[in-house]
Amino acid sequence: MIRVVVADDQALVRAGVRMLLEAAGEMEVCGEAVDGAQAVEHAERLRPDVLLMDLRMPRVDGLEATRRILAAWPAARIVILTTFAEDENVYAALRAGAIGFLVKDDEPERMVDAVRRAAAGEPLLAPSVLRRVVERALAAEEQAGPRVPAGLTDRELEVLSLVGAGLSNGEIADALHVGVTTVKTHVSTAMDKLGLRNRIQAAVVAHRIGLVGADFRPVRNPPRGGPAGPPPG
């Protein structure tokens, strides 16, 4: 059973999300929060598998709640709920470590899929959204020429480049003719070595160190030897 906390200041939204998720038969809404402060409390006390976090809430907004939760509990899997895909706070929350985002008027099935994927540690980001997140993150950084950090194996670099290109674990497994579990292991190991919280940060780093080109295609012979640099965000 996937345990979910829903944070939204509108009671009708919370009720609708609860009904939708629990109708899937494999999810339980274990807590509801009316603002970011309560979302932080629920995260600490309930330790849910996934938090669905509205950005626009009173007292403490979703962005600040996301930062507080991830500072205390880096493994938290937070999916941002927003009315507008272009909300500047969406990108700030993703860079802070949220695992994905949903627009509230999206198809209901997409929310169920998002919770499943978040619980499995996979991000929910359309390629176009990932492109904007990467571009914004890189534009905010001052960086020298890209260099691939020492310590990553060739396979980890290959997997990281495909993460940066926007592929899911299943798509990477198909591309490399290996199992999904193997891909997950390589992704997790590479992220641990680079000090990253999630795949969105991994995608940004893949671009920063030259594993992925501006066309979002993996680079065959990236420059090697430099430091990894700090995680994005």
Residue 185's pLDDT is 94
Q: Which of 124, 158, 190 is the last residue of a domain?
A: 124
Together in a domain, 155 and 116: no
Residue 142's pLDDT is 54
The CATH number covering residue 17 comes to: 3.40.50.2300
9, 120, 165, 180, 208 from 56: Cα distances, Å = 8, 26, 30, 36, 31
Closest CA relative to residue 119, chosen from 28, 209, 192: 28
Together in a domain, 98 and 150: no
Together in a domain, 102 and 154: no
Together in a domain, 105 and 149: no
Q: Which of 58, 92, 124 is the last residue of a domain?
A: 124
pLDDT 10s digit of each residue in the chain, 233 long? 999 999 999 999 999 999 999 999 899 999 999 999 999 999 999 999 999 999 999 999 999 999 999 999 988 999 998 887 666 777 788 777 888 888 888 788 888 988 998 998 877 776 667 777 777 777 766 554 556 677 889 999 999 999 988 888 888 999 999 999 999 999 999 999 988 877 878 888 898 888 988 888 888 766 565 444 445 55
Q: Which of 124, 157, 192 is the last residue of a domain?
A: 124
Together in a domain, 152 and 48: no
**Total tally of structural domains belonging to the chain:** 2
Residue 116 inside a domain? The answer is: yes
Residue-range definition of the domain harbouring residue 83: 2-124
Together in a domain, 71 and 163: no
Residue 135 inside a domain? The answer is: no
pTM: 0.72
| CA 90 to centroid of chain Cα atoms | 11
For the stretch 34-44, what's the b/e string if a residue is b when 16 or more beta carbons lie within 10 angstroms of its beta carbon? Answer: bbbbbbbebbe
Please work out, in degrees rounded to the nearest 5, the angle formed at the alpha carbon of residue 114 by the alpha carbons of 140 and 17. 115
The CATH number covering residue 166 comes to: 1.10.10.10
Q: What is the DSSP string of 101-125?
A: EEETTS-HHHHHHHHHHHHTT--B-
Residue 228's pLDDT is 46
Q: Which helix (H) or strand (E) holds 187?
A: helix 180-194
Residue 199's pLDDT is 80
